[in-house]
Amino acid sequence: MPCHLENAPTIIAAIERVIGIKPGQTTPDGQFSFELTNCIGVCDQAPAMLVGDVLYGNLTPEKITDVLNSYR
């Protein structure tokens, strides 16, 4: 809920735009799989995501772009 209240739909749209897939899909090169999940336990940093084991919080569309592009 905290992530949802902190504009999760905008964050989801940003992820879709940057890596070109929707939740439940994997990029053709296998680099990214995009999965939605319930709370990951860092509601004080909502909206948040994990890339592998690395936590990213207080996300914005701009931060999403920087984070995901850093993995390319």
Binding site for ligand FES (CB under 6 A): 1-3, 39-43, 46, 48
Minimum Å gap between C-beta 8 and ligand FES is 8
Distance of CA 9 to the CA centre of its chain: 10
Rank residues 21 and 57 by Cβ distance to ligand FES and give the closer one: 57
- Dihedral in degrees, nearest 10, Cα atoms 12, 15, 17, 21: -90
Rank residues 15 and 20 by Cβ distance to ligand FES and give the closer one: 15
Task: Report d(CA 55, CA 72) in Å as an integer.
Answer: 17
Minimum Å gap between C-beta 24 and ligand FES is 18
